[in-house]
Amino acid sequence: MKTVKEKAKEWGISERTVVNLCNKGKISGAYKKGRMWIIPDDSLRPADGRISSGKYAKNYMRAARKPLPIGISDYIRAQADYYYVDKTLMIKDFLDSKPLVSLFTRPRRFGKTLNMDMLRVFFEISENDTSVYFRDKAIWRCGDDYRRHQGKYPVVFLTFKDVKFDSFQDTLSKIASLLQVEFGRHYELSTSSKLQPFEKAFYLKVVNGEAGEVELSSALENLSRMLFVHHGISPIIIIDEYDTPIQEGYASDYYDEIIGFMRNFFSGAFKDNKYLTYGFLTGILRISQESIFSGMNNLSVNTIFDKEYDSYFGFTDDEVHDMMSYYGISNKETELKEWYDGYLFGEKGIYNPWSVINYISKGCQPGAYWANTGKNEILEDVMKVASDDISQKLYLLMQGEKVIAKLNQTTAYRSLTDNPENIYSLLMVAGYLKAEKKELWDDGSYLCEITIPNKEINAVFKSEILSYFSQMGTITQTTANRIAESIYANDILKLQDYIREYMLKTVSFFDTGAEGFYHGLLLGLIALMDNDYKIRSNRESGDGRYDICMFPRNRRNAGVIIEVKWERSLTEKALDKLADDALDQIDQNNYDMEMAKEGVDKIIRFGMAFSGKKVVIKNR
């Protein structure tokens, strides 16, 4: 909110003119506070009867548009100085149900920190009147039942989003410094006459950076008690990105230590804490198998599968439409939708908010903005443990195909090696996949039809998987392009040479031990090509199941069917016959039936025979 003086300066008119416009009701949202007019930050200058040139008006409108809040997670600043998408009705939905402790799991960069800071500003006791930050928001129009909670509670707020260190000791030191700052923010406790000497001693120990691991693990429990004693009302505790230190512990081999600390830390804060009014946590993954929240019957978990709160993290269609209209770029909505829409939270279609605001601020230039916000170790971990079947499904996803997978909302990072099928669950909660046609099973998991949500994530998949293979010395984009060109040209000699050269340079002899290996290798190479074909693998057609089919997106191109054969220690003559057998199998089993039904007239058939690093390819 701004004063008359501030708005007069912004609009380039006199303060008296602004007052007259307020008195006439021409400034939407303006209201009197005492004898002064208060004006919403995003109010545009109304017509005041004077004549302006078209050029001036055009330039004024451009200048009046607020910047986008890239990297801004401070609610007060975001709603005052930037284009703010109003998410304050989240407060109403919460107060209607009043769960004691709420956990919200969403992908990174979907507005979790900004929403938690919004909750802090709304609920927190302050020396200043913080209601001014909500008077023009949706929550204020909901009535006194909700307004009466504004500014009434002490609040403890911690965000772990930057707790990313290679050792447990460094992680613990960072958490200690965050607690030091948060304890210091409640400086009224240091001089409170209501606290016991031992409580003040504990407070000063944390503030002075002298607390050890055991004392830090009970810090939230003690702070909440002291705030209650001082203020006479139990605090609200907010922990943002609670699982970031746990992810780092998994990646850097101090998983057990960080899990042990967090179990005690959260237990003191949220389990049986009689000095707690409400608790909020956010993260990417619900980590329950390690019993971090063991016995916490008061925990209400909200995931991407739940309808409650489904519109508060990320942007909805209506919000994006309004934003595009505000910036005068409604003609770009289709492109933006293709690149950044496609997520499904509960029953609501959602856009990636980080990518949307970057796209607009960069002059509507599409790109993988979300991929550049942090490390994508999760995809590297996926590729390390992926079976041949999983790898094939990932390649099919990159080609726009849908696959069936079982998703568990409580999957833990270290369970990847125990059950590689959990890969899909991790990719889902991390924001890499979209689930449709969900069927709930008795064990609480879902059987889903999964896809990649949009062009941005498809680009991330392709670049990250290619990057992983490059690090392993197995593939380059040049290799993929050369193989693609030889397939398109139906040049079996070049195709045979390129695949043989690729295998000689990069594939260990000990890796070449089954037909599934060669099948996955070819599927990976094809999936990394340009997106001229839809790739399907191991699907029924005719009288059997083909290995790989490439359905042309442009009917002028030929369809491609590939059958792979492998046997150990074959001679050149035997390998040549095996390639013929692969071609015969395509014809005998009518593998071209599915392609013919889809109207593909020209079909190229490849029989590929492998033995060790040797390959023979024939076509028909």
pLDDT for the residue 436:
83
Residues 266 and 335 in one domain: no
pLDDT for the residue 52:
38
The closest of 417, 601, 568, 398 to 480, measured between CA atoms, is: 398
Residues 530 and 562 in one domain: yes
Domain count, the chain: 5
CATH number at residue 382: 1.10.10
Helix, coil or strand: residue 290? coil
Give the containing element (helix H, strand E) for 198. helix 197-207
pLDDT for the residue 139:
97
Considering only residues 517 and 377, tell me which one the structure prediction assigns the higher pLDDT. Answer: 517
Domain limit, last residue, from 273, 302, 331: 302
With respect to residue 141, please indicate whether it lies within any of the assigned structural domains: no
Residues 498 and 548 in one domain: yes
With respect to residue 126, please indicate whether it lies within any of the assigned structural domains: no
**pLDDT bucket at 438, cuts 50 / 70 / 90:** confident
With respect to residue 487, please indicate whether it lies within any of the assigned structural domains: yes
Range with lowest mean pLDDT among 35-44, 106-115, 268-277, 500-509: 500-509
Work out the average pLDDT over 392-407.
82
Domain span at residue 445 reads 375-457
Domain limit, last residue, from 427, 457, 487: 457
Exposed, middle or buried, 431 (CB in 10 Å: 0-12/13-18/19+)? buried
pLDDT for the residue 210:
96
Residue 451 in this model has a pLDDT that exceeds 90: yes
With respect to residue 16, please indicate whether it lies within any of the assigned structural domains: yes
Residue 510 in this model has a pLDDT that exceeds 60: no
Residues 225 and 170 in one domain: yes
Residue 599 in this model has a pLDDT that exceeds 50: yes
Residues 477 and 602 in one domain: yes
Percent of the chain scored above 90 by pLDDT? 49
Residues 449 and 555 in one domain: no
Helix, coil or strand: residue 162? coil
Residues 28 and 96 in one domain: no
pLDDT for the residue 326:
94
pLDDT for the residue 172:
97
With respect to residue 78, please indicate whether it lies within any of the assigned structural domains: no
**What is the rounded distance in angstroms from the CA atom of residue 460 to the CA atom of residue 431?**
11
pLDDT for the residue 55:
42
**pLDDT bucket at 203, cuts 50 / 70 / 90:** very high
First to last CA, the chain: 73
Residues 18 and 166 in one domain: no
Which residue is it, tokens 């019993």?
291
pLDDT for the residue 95:
97
Condensed to tens digits (0 to 9), the pLDDT of residues 228-240 reads: 999 999 999 999 9
With respect to residue 116, please indicate whether it lies within any of the assigned structural domains: no
User: Using the 8-state DSSP alphabet, how is residue 547 labeled?
Assistant: S
Residue 309 in this model has a pLDDT that exceeds 50: yes
**What is the rounded distance in angstroms from the CA atom of residue 327 to the CA atom of residue 596?**
48
**pLDDT bucket at 62, cuts 50 / 70 / 90:** very low
Residues 217 and 363 in one domain: no
Residue 60 in this model has a pLDDT that exceeds 50: no
**pLDDT bucket at 99, cuts 50 / 70 / 90:** very high
With respect to residue 144, please indicate whether it lies within any of the assigned structural domains: no
- 131, two tokens: 């209601």
pLDDT for the residue 378:
64
Give the angle 301-302-305 at the CA atoms, nearest 5°: 125
Residues 240 and 95 in one domain: yes
Residues 605 and 483 in one domain: yes
349 forms beta bridges with 344
Contact 540, 526 (CB under 8 A): no
**pLDDT bucket at 167, cuts 50 / 70 / 90:** very high
Work out the average pLDDT over 374-395.
69
User: Using the 8-state DSSP alphabet, how is residue 192 labeled?
Assistant: -
With respect to residue 117, please indicate whether it lies within any of the assigned structural domains: no
Residues 298 and 330 in one domain: no
